[in-house]
Each structure stands twice: as C-alpha cells, then as structure tokens.
Amino acid sequence: MIPLELLPGFAEWGTHLDELVSRPEALWIHGPAGAGVSTLAAELAQRRGVAWLDVVTVDPAAAWFTTHPRGIVAARTAAPAHLPCLTLRLPGLDEHPEAMPALLAALALEEGIEGPLPQALGTLPCLGHLRELRNRLLRWKLLGQLPTPTPTGPPRFEAEDLASNLHELERFLLHQALRRSYGNRVEAAQRLGVSRRQLYLLIRRHGDPVRGEAAAGDLPQRVKKRLPAQNSSLDSGIR
C-alpha cells in the first residue's frame, strides 16, 4: 500500500489527519479515481475504530450514515449538502506532478523493480491518478513499452480551407494522445473525449505511431468535397 505521505497534496491535507480522527462527525472523502481516496478512508477508519464504505452514488451513504454516525465514506463526488458529515477532497496527481518521482519509486518497490527507472516515466503526462501511473510502470516492466517522442511544435496548417486544417489537427491530437498513453487505446480515448468506436475510426484514418499501424487513407467527407481547383494547397495540407 502506498504510504499516505506520498499521496498527491499530502502537505496540504496531511496536517489535519489527527484532527479528523478525533472529530465526532462522520467523514466524507472524495476525489478523482485513483487519488488515494479508498486508501485514506481505510486508514482513518482503522484509526477511528469504525467502519467505512466505498460508494459510487450518494444514495447508499445517506442511509448508511444513520447507523454509522462516525463512519467514513470514500466517494468520487462531493457529499450532498444535507448530509451531516465533514468532507475532505483529495487532489489528483495532475494537480501535484511533483509527487510523481516518489510515487514511482514506491510503486517500483511494490512491483519488485530494481535499478533506475527511465526518466520518461516521471515526466510524461498521465491521466492524473495513481492507477494510470502504476499501469505506466507495468507497461514498461512487462513490455519494455515507452512512447515514441512527441514531435515538437504545433501541426503545420499549409492548406487554405478549414476542412483540411481540421483534418491535420485531428491527426496531430490523435497521435499525441496515443504517444502519451503508451498506445493504450482506452486511455487515448479518454484523453480525447471520444468513444472507443470513434477512436478506432480515427486510427484507421490517421494510423497509430506507437504500434506502427499505417493510415488506411480514408478521408472524411468534408475533405473529399474539397477540389484541387478550390484549394491549391490541399495535397500539402493533408498527410
């Protein structure tokens, strides 16, 4: 289990732990997935000598608090205003990237990984929570998988029309998301805010630089409608 002092933002909320243990009210701990919410709830419940509950929706917690007046709830969302409890929000790793090196070292120790870790593991963007950080470490341990370097600079918009430039921007953002997620397509879809079906359509259109899959050459209708006579730079604007 990750030590509490290594969790993101511990310097901000860690000084209140003793007070939270001694308070008579029930406690609602929430934060993004993988921020250490359940870890902290279990620890505080043990210190208080009470039960704790992990919930997705708030309805079970409202009834549970009536029989556990000092109980602790671990949740993804903030507590409703009508519940008689104290609340504590834990920040995600994306809010405290300075915590990443120590967390990586602790996770590597848990996974039995010895020796120095690649610098890229601690510098590349992630979704902001511990689960993805562990997944990043395991992908490197089991597969030796590190993302290919992201091209420097923004995409080049050489075409004159909006459709062609949007096509180029789409390719750039897709490849960036795939690189940052080590080729993990579920994570890439989350980064882009699209469904998995939409992601596979984008990959067919633009290829996958991490897995080495070439684009199928499919073009969206908005680009096909552009004629060379209408846009002299069409060919140079689409890759």
Q: Angle formed by the axes of helices 100-110 and 130-143, to 10°?
A: 50
Dihedral angle sign, alpha carbons of residues 135, 188, 206, 201: positive
Q: How far is CA 57 from CA 78, 80, 133, 185, in A?
A: 10, 11, 26, 27
pLDDT at 168: 85
Residue 231's Cβ-side half-sphere holds a number of Cα atoms within 13 Å equal to 19
pLDDT at 52: 94
**Total count of residues recorded for the chain:** 239
The C-alpha atoms of residue 79 and residue 219 are separated, in whole angstroms, by 47
pLDDT at 233: 46
- Answer whether 150's CB lies under 8 Å from 123's CB: no
Task: Quickly tell me which residue has 């003793």 as its tokens.
Answer: 18
Give the global pTM.
0.61
Residue 176 DSSP symbol:
H
Domain boundaries along the sequence of the chain: 4-91, 97-143, 162-237
pLDDT at 229: 46
pLDDT at 103: 87
The C-alpha atoms of residue 71 and residue 167 are separated, in whole angstroms, by 53
Return the closest-CA partner of residue 80 out of 13, 30, 24, 34.
30
Report the CATH architecture of 162-237: Orthogonal Bundle (1.10)
The C-alpha atoms of residue 184 and residue 7 are separated, in whole angstroms, by 24
pLDDT at 30: 93
pLDDT at 236: 44
Q: Per residue of the chain (239 residues), what is the pLDDT tens digit?
A: 788 999 889 999 999 999 999 999 999 999 887 788 999 999 999 999 999 999 877 777 888 888 998 999 999 888 888 888 999 999 988 788 888 888 888 888 888 888 888 877 776 566 556 777 787 788 778 777 665 555 556 677 777 778 778 888 888 899 888 887 777 888 899 989 999 999 999 999 888 887 778 888 777 766 666 655 455 444 444 44
- Answer whether 159's CB lies under 8 Å from 219's CB: no
Residue 39 CB neighbour total at 10 angstroms: 19
Here the tokens at position 142 are 């089991």
- Answer whether 52's CB lies under 8 Å from 71's CB: yes
Residue 95 DSSP symbol:
G
- Answer whether 64's CB lies under 8 Å from 53's CB: yes
Phi, psi of 150 (to 5 degrees): -80, 130
pLDDT at 234: 44
